[in-house]
Amino acid sequence: MVSRVIPVEPFDLVIFGGTGDLARRKILPGLFRRFIAGQMPQDAQIIGAARAEYDADGYRQFIKQSLFEFGPKDVPNDVTEAFLSGLDYVAIDAKGTNGWPDLAAKMRDGHVRAFYFSVAPALFGDLAERLHSHDIALPDSRIVVEKPFGHDLKSARSLNATLAQHFSEDQIYRIDHYLGKETVQNLMAVRFGNMLFEPLWNALYIDHVQITVAETVGVDGRGGYYDTSGAMRDMVQNHLMQLLCLIAMEPPAKFDPDAVRDEKLKVIRALDPVSPHHLVRGQYGASSDHPDYRAHVENRRSRTESYVALKTHISNWRWAGTPFYLRTGKRLRARSSEIAVVFKETPHSIFGPEAGSHRNALIIRLQPDEGITMDVTIKEPGPGGMRLIDVPLDMTFAEALGPEVGEVPDAYERLIMDVIRGNQTLFMRGDEVEAAWAWTDPIINHWGETKDVPKPYDAGGSGPEDALMLMHRDDRKWREIR
């Protein structure tokens, strides 16, 4: 059963970059779903703000098209119109004065004020400054900022400093949409809501952890951004790092923003630097139906990686000796994200060497087919002695929780509602982002300094051969991407 919907307080949400891709594909369709679910109060006001000269009606028509394309299907027209009637628009100049008095006039007293900066980070400072100089932001207003939050530690520090001139940390919501995914939150529920796992959750019992985020998509259409970023900045520094934190952190005393983020920060700070021998980067080649990576970017000799695999350790009492293997890549065999917590073998096999080696594994599948599987060793049924096999105890959420589970909100819906509620638990704190860059920077710098060329890998495969070797050398194996 999906939990019941509790309407949020009346709010004014201003989306800077209101005509952009993120607004069209994610933010507005997400808000529309919350409207349909009954979570948005009647007098909620959503204001698109961008350079384009729309009037409110023109903007509503523009967004209507996006809702058809990216929103829920088969919604009665009157419901769509009711949602659109809560939309307004201001043509605004982020670096000038145009539009700001109009925006100020539209804000309503008594409403929560939230400002979504869905624009290039170079504009964050201008927006923040004008929200104050035009008396639009109040002491309890919130701003939402998207990744990439900086390009490296230096730029992330400077962005944090810019925002801090106008907003306090408890007003800043840095989005990592992986934290809004249902199963990612389930990680915390599984770990801290059950007695079963926590006593075994350490280096004494856990052989290794592998985290995989595999995608089938390439960088088509986003080559300009992606080529300056690469998989390390685009996925590892944020999404994979967050998954690693949730798996490895100590139990926070309570499920509240600072308690959770303090524990995540300790994990990041305890991460060992990654040795170049434990790093693999790749770039996808062409397949029969898709061109290679370089066809999507300007630089035909680009050395940007579309794949990363690495091994790292967390130097603390709980995890010393347990390696964490991370991999992510584009144009791989399947869209499949999962975390596998692989336990050690039993200390002694009473069944003798012929029973083979067996390890329990807890698999948390993030997408698709969200669920949890526990590989358990049992006797192979039938006569003929004691042969052991591993079988999965499977809890696919869609089956276990009934058909309504299909209705769970997507990451953006949940996160935007959390902004309105003023709950920062699923958002990154400034120091957390900086610590993640401090760990990632030396890796990226090493690649630059050594002019490292990513290994080519087959589109539709499971990544470069060297990534298989990374595990193989340790007598371990990646789980199949499927």
User: What are the C-alpha distances in Å from 456 to residues 221, 471, 479?
Assistant: 21, 18, 21
**Shortest distance in whole angstroms from residue 410 CB to ligand BG6:** 8
**Is 88 or 234 the residue whose CB approaches ligand BG6 more closely?**
234
**Is 86 or 329 the residue whose CB approaches ligand BG6 more closely?**
329
CB 240 within 8 A of CB 328: yes
Q: Which residue is nearest to ligand BG6 (CB)?
A: 234
Q: How many residues does the chain have?
A: 482
**Shortest distance in whole angstroms from residue 306 CB to ligand BG6:** 9
> How many CA atoms, within 13 angstroms, populate the side-chain half-sphere of residue 292?
17
DSSP 150-214: -SSHHHHHHHHHHHHTTS-GGGEEE--GGGGSHHHHHHHHHHHH-TTTGGG-STTTEEEEEEEEE
**Shortest distance in whole angstroms from residue 95 CB to ligand BG6:** 26
Instruction: Pick the binder of ligand BG6 from 215, 338, 375, 441 (CB under 6 A).
Output: 215
Residues 410-449 that bind ligand BG6 (CB under 6 A): none
CB 249 within 8 A of CB 263: yes
**Is 222 or 476 the residue whose CB approaches ligand BG6 more closely?**
222
C-beta atoms surrounding 75 within 10 Å: 16
Residue 239 designated active-site: yes
Q: Considering the rule CB under 6 A, would residue 227 count as an interface residue with ligand BG6?
A: no
Q: Considering the rule CB under 6 A, would residue 305 count as an interface residue with ligand BG6?
A: no
Alpha-carbon torsion 197, 198, 203, 204, what sign? negative
Total site size for ligand BG6, rule CB under 6 A: 3
**Shortest distance in whole angstroms from residue 217 CB to ligand BG6:** 6
**Is 92 or 213 the residue whose CB approaches ligand BG6 more closely?**
213
Q: Catalytic: which of 166, 177, 208, 239?
A: 239
Alpha-carbon torsion 35, 37, 43, 45, what sign? negative
> How many CA atoms, within 13 angstroms, populate the side-chain half-sphere of residue 321?
11
**Is 234 or 434 the residue whose CB approaches ligand BG6 more closely?**
234
Q: Considering the rule CB under 6 A, would residue 234 count as an interface residue with ligand BG6?
A: yes
CB 342 within 8 A of CB 324: no
**Is 232 or 314 the residue whose CB approaches ligand BG6 more closely?**
232
**Shortest distance in whole angstroms from residue 25 CB to ligand BG6:** 11
Do strands 336-343 and 206-214 pair parallel, antiparallel, or not at all (unpaired)?
antiparallel
> Rule CB under 6 A: which residues touch ligand BG6?
215, 217, 234
Q: Which residues are catalytic?
A: 239
